């Protein structure tokens, strides 16, 4: 059955269309018009969002959990709760993100999450897992954050292959510290597997980071956090990330992990095409203050801060709030801010079916108020229920 959706306006996100009409069939966008249909397709369901703006569904490439659950729990109902929570905040696609743990635990999580990714087209009432993000164990001791030091290992193509096989080929991104022995070889091998390498949790020098970019690393993980400090005489990895035109980068724009002035600096450096918003959200997202899990860690949550032994440990940020924060912190328009949560992460992942509203694309959309507040989310053309 076809569905006809109307709204006040639509952000594709590169174009603004007034009085749009979107026709959906079999979970995909069939027709997109900027004028009223003279005839509604026979038997079509109609959805009208008066006064609201339609935009592509958001994509979060770095999220550990939400709604009281962690993605490394071996429980399909936990993932469903996380996915429903994210969809309520406009996210229709995401990369469940692991943390450093004993290798057997990582392998079990990859196997469980790989099955969820493979069955993602059957997901109901929530965001769809598009692949897996492996954050750790290929990270620096010096910039490990809260990742367990005893479980960090040097990267190698052989170990990456083991993780890849456990995920049944659904591993889409790894965070890797380029200064580690074996990092460049592992980055080159990851490229042959179609895995995107993201530089992060790193104390790399400028030259070490540039060598990794030359080897094929094309992204950076939560810029400024868990990175060598940006210094005018020792610029380090942050300068490599900010100045490399071919590198995209993500940031946690919650005002806690990064000061708003540094968010503005980041956005000026990476621009509207290379900046990506992430949440780095943990199980506490959408929950009251208290103690929550991040992989094997017990994290204390007060207000907007998640801490383990006094150090930041993920966030309670939602992606719709991150979009609104870009508008607030940097004075960007909502249309431009939306690109950082839609087309940019889709381009990063090579997701040609998502990230934009256009014929042939997945009917993943969000209906927003003028201030960016999410009012409704559609996954494959179906409304996500509150």
Residues 150 and 50 in one domain: no
State pLDDT tens for residues 4-31: 999 999 999 999 999 999 999 999 999 9
Residues 37 and 169 in one domain: no
Average the pLDDT over 163-185 and give the result.
Answer: 98
Average the pLDDT over 95-100 and give the result.
Answer: 98
Percent of the chain with pLDDT over 70: 97
365 in any annotated domain: no
Q: Which helix (H) or strand (E) holds 329?
A: helix 319-330
Torsion of CA 150, 308, 65, 74, to 10 degrees: 40
Residues 186 and 289 in one domain: yes
Strand partners, 7: 49
Buried b vs exposed e over 84-111: b needs ≥16 C-beta within 10 Å?
A: bbbbbbbbbbbbbbbbbbeeebbbebbe
CATH of residue 191: 3.20.20.140
State pLDDT tens for residues 275-310: 999 999 999 999 999 999 998 889 999 999 999 999
Instruction: Tell me the C-alpha to C-alpha distance, in Å, between residue 49 and each of 206, 224, 313, 319, 359.
Output: 49, 39, 38, 21, 20
Buried b vs exposed e over 33-48: b needs ≥16 C-beta within 10 Å?
A: eeeeeeeebeebeebe
CATH of residue 41: 2.30.40.10
Question: Residue 282 CB: number of other CB atoms within 10 A?
Answer: 30
Residues 43 and 84 in one domain: no
Question: Residue 290 CB: number of other CB atoms within 10 A?
Answer: 11
Nearest alpha carbon to residue 279 among 343, 345, 227: 345
Strand partners, 171: 132
3-state secondary structure of 171: strand
Q: Which helix (H) or strand (E) holds 349?
A: helix 343-349
Residues 251 and 229 in one domain: yes
Q: Is the confidence at residue 38, as pLDDT, over 70?
A: no
Residues 153 and 246 in one domain: yes
Q: Is the confidence at residue 64, as pLDDT, over 80?
A: yes
Residues 204 and 323 in one domain: yes
Q: If pLDDT is split at 50, 70 and 90, which confidence band does 41 have? A: confident
State pLDDT tens for residues 339-358: 999 999 999 999 999 999 99
CB 279 within 8 A of CB 86: no
Residues 132 and 182 in one domain: yes
Q: What is the pLDDT of residue 36?
A: 64
Compute the Cα dihedral for 326, 327, 331, 334 and give only its sign. positive
State pLDDT tens for residues 125-173: 699 999 999 999 999 999 999 999 999 999 999 999 999 999 999 999 9
Strand partners, 365: 56, 378
Strand partners, 249: 275
Longest dimension (CA), the chain: 67
Counted domains in the chain: 2
State pLDDT tens for residues 219-244: 999 999 999 999 999 999 999 999 99
Nearest alpha carbon to residue 92 among 121, 131, 127, 129: 127
379 in any annotated domain: yes
357 in any annotated domain: no
**Cα of 369 vs its chain's centroid, Å:** 22
Q: Is the confidence at residue 92, as pLDDT, over 70?
A: yes
Q: What is the pLDDT of residue 164?
A: 98
- Distance (Å, rounded) from C-alpha 384 to C-alpha 89? 10
- Distance (Å, rounded) from C-alpha 335 to C-alpha 16? 8
Q: What is the pLDDT of residue 124?
A: 64
The active-site residue out of 203, 250, 254, 280 is 280
Nearest alpha carbon to residue 334 among 16, 39, 33: 16
Instruction: Show the tokens assigned to 298.
Output: 């017990």
Q: What is the pLDDT of residue 1?
A: 82
Q: What is the pLDDT of residue 275?
A: 98
**What's the whole-number average pLDDT of the chain?**
95
Average the pLDDT over 110-114 and give the result.
Answer: 97
171 in any annotated domain: yes
Instruction: Show the tokens assigned to 354.
Output: 């998502």
Structural domain of 9? 3-54+370-383
CB 12 within 8 A of CB 359: no
Instruction: Show the tokens assigned to 65.
Output: 């959990």
Strands (E), 177-258: 196-199, 219-220, 249-251
219 in any annotated domain: yes
**Is residue 250 annotated as part of the catalytic site, yes or no?**
no
Residues 65 and 176 in one domain: yes
Q: Is the confidence at residue 385, as pLDDT, over 90?
A: no
363 in any annotated domain: no
Residues 130 and 223 in one domain: yes
37 vs 145, more confident: 145
Residues 41 and 100 in one domain: no
360 in any annotated domain: no
362 in any annotated domain: no
Residues 111 and 42 in one domain: no
């Amino acid at each position: 059955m076809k569905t006809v959706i109307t709204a006040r306006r639509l952000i594709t996100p590169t174009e603004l269309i007034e009085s749009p009409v979107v026709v959906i069939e079999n979970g995909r966008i069939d027709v997109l018009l900027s004028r009223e249909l003279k005839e509604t397709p026979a038997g079509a369901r109609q959805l009208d969002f008066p006064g609201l703006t339609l935009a592509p569904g958001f994509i979060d490439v770095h999220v550990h959990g939400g709604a009281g659950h962690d993605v490394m729990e071996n429980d399909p109902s936990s993932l469903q709760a996380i996915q429903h929570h994210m969809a309520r905040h406009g996210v229709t696609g995401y990369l469940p993100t692991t943390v450093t743990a004993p290798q057997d635990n990582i392998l079990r999580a990859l196997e469980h999450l790989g099955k969820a990714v493979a069955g993602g087209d059957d997901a109901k009432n929530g965001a769809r897992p598009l692949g897996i993000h492996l954050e750790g164990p290929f990270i620096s001791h010096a910039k490990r954050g809260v990742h367990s030091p005893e479980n960090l290992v040097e990267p190698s193509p052989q170990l990456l292959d083991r993780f890849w096989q456990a995920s049944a080929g659904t591993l889409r991104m790894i965070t890797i510290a380029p200064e580690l022995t074996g990092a460049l070889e592992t980055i080159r091998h990851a490229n042959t597997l179609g895995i995107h390498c993201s530089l992060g949790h790193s104390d790399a020098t400028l030259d070490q980071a540039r060598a990794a970019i030359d080897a094929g690393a094309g992204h950076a993980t939560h810029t400024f956090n868990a990175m060598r400090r940006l210094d005018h005489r020792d610029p380090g990895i942050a300068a490599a990330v900010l100045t490399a035109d071919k590198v995209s980068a993500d940031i946690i724009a919650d005002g806690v992990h990064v000061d708003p002035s540094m968010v503005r600096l980041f956005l000026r450096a990476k621009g509207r095409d290379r900046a990506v918003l992430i949440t780095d959200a943990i199980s506490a997202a959408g929950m009251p203050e208290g103690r929550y899990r991040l992989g094997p860690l017990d994290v204390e949550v007060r207000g907007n801060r998640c801490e383990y032994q006094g150090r930041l440990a993920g966030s309670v940020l939602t992606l719709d709030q991150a979009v609104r924060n870009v508008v607030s912190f940097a004075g960007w328009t909502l249309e431009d801010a939306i690109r950082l949560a839609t087309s940019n992460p889709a381009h990063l992942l090579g997701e040609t079916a998502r990230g934009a509203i256009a014929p042939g694309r997945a009917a993943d959309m969000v209906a927003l108020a003028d201030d960016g507040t999410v009012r409704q989310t559609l996954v494959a053309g179906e409304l996500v229920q509150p």
